[in-house]
């Protein structure tokens, strides 16, 4: 169970200004998806960045299976994030970008390489493992970023508009991939403006 309690945050602003402030409280069970939506600037990315550890909360707690996560740096949290900037490494090919999710030093077994090729095929990118990210379309890069995240196998997944701009076929494939993750017990938080994504994936919808 993810238990977020009294998680507070405000962006530092100049002393005579008062920036926006948030306090988040919610729980999420393994396999559940919480969708958050709201107008631009309502704080969706702020919440995801707090959970991922890219922003430090001013108070409150984030507990996963009773472990307190707030003191941990992002890489020690049981969390994978897929944010809007896909953060692919341009000097690595597609297969190696995904392989980083399996082994940070890219020491991959034959079985892991086969797993990467199969994952690429699953999302309609068969045979594209040797390409560089610059040789892919925006939607293809998005799929690579999502695969890298999923193959890491972390129990918590944070998704910031992961399917925006994809064509209907690609969306359909990624919906079934994400539903599979839920069945495997992965808990997810999805920031999405898209009502269909929320309808297909979310167990709870929260308007910020
Ligand atoms: N580094 C920052 N310093 C000060 N204020 C910030 C900073 N980053 C974001 N904000 C402000 O915090 C608020 C929430 O921003 P956030 O990016 O979380 O919104 P969002 O709901 O994800 O928006 P969008 O849907 O446009 O991505 C906005 O008013 C924004 O201007």
**Cα 169 to middle of ligand 1, angstroms:** 31
3 state DSSP class of 61? strand
Q: How far, CA to CA in Å, does 112 sit from each of 116, 153, 195?
A: 6, 13, 35
- Please say whether the beta carbons of 133 and 89 come within 8 A: yes
* Pocket perturbation via mutation, ligand 1, pick of 22, 24, 41, 191 by most ligand atoms within 8 A of CB: 41
Q: What is the pLDDT of residues 59-98, one digit of tens each?
A: 999 999 989 999 999 989 999 998 876 678 999 999 999 9
> Residue 89 gets which letter from DSSP?
-
Q: What is the pLDDT of residues 108-149, one digit of tens each?
A: 898 999 999 999 998 889 999 999 999 998 888 888 999 999
The answer to whether the CB of 181 is under 6 A from ligand 1 is no
Ligand 1 atom 30, closest CA = 41
DSSP 153-195: --SEEEEESTTTT--HHHHHHHHHHHHHHHHTT-EEEEE-S-H
Give pLDDT, residue 67: 93
Q: Quick one: pLDDT band at residue 189, thresholds 50, 70, 90?
A: very high
All residues at 6 or more sequence positions from 172 whose CB lies less than 8 Å from its CB, including other chains: none
Atom of ligand 1 nearest to the CA of 42: 21
**Cα 92 to middle of ligand 1, angstroms:** 31
Ligand 1 atom 2, closest CA = 11
Q: Quick one: pLDDT band at residue 182, thresholds 50, 70, 90?
A: very high
82's enclosing H/E stretch is: strand 79-82
- Please say whether the beta carbons of 131 and 113 come within 8 A: no
Give pLDDT, residue 54: 92
The answer to whether the CB of 38 is under 6 A from ligand 1 is yes
Helices 110-122 and 138-152, interaxial angle, to 10°?
Answer: 140
Q: What is the pLDDT of residues 94-109, one digit of tens each?
A: 999 999 888 878 888 9
Give me the domains of the chain, ranges plus CATH numbers. 1-78+156-207 (3.40.50.300), 91-153 (no CATH)
- Over residues 30-39, mean pLDDT: 94
ipTM: 0.93
- Checking if the pLDDT of 34 tops 70, the result is yes
Atom of ligand 1 nearest to the CA of 38: 21
Q: Quick one: pLDDT band at residue 203, thresholds 50, 70, 90?
A: very high
CA 206 to chain centre: 17
- Checking if the pLDDT of 16 tops 60, the result is no
pTM of the model: 0.88
- Over residues 11-34, mean pLDDT: 82
């Amino acid at each position: 169970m993810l238990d977020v309690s009294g998680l507070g945050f405000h962006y530092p602003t100049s002393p005579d200004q008062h920036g926006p402030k948030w306090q988040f409280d919610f729980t999420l069970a393994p396999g559940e998806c919480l969708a958050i939506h709201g107008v631009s600037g309502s704080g969706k990315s702020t919440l995801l960045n707090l959970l991922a550890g890219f922003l430090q909360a001013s108070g409150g707690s984030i507990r996963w299976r009773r472990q307190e996560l707030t003191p941990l740096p992002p890489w020690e949290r049981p969390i994978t994030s897929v944010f809007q900037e896909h953060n692919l490494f341009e000097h690595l090919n597609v297969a190696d970008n995904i392989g980083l999710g399996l082994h940070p030093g890219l020491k991959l077994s034959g079985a892991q390489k086969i797993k990467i090729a199969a994952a690429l095929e699953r999302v309609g990118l068969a045979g594209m493992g040797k390409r560089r990210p610059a040789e892919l379309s925006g939607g293809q890069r998005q799929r690579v970023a999502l695969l890298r995240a999923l193959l890491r196998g972390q129990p918590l997944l944070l998704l910031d508009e992961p399917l925006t701009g994809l064509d209907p076929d690609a969306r359909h494939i990624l919906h079934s991939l994400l539903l599979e993750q839920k069945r495997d017990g992965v808990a997810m938080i999805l920031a999405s403006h898209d009502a269909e994504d929320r309808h297909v994936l979310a167990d709870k919808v929260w308007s910020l």
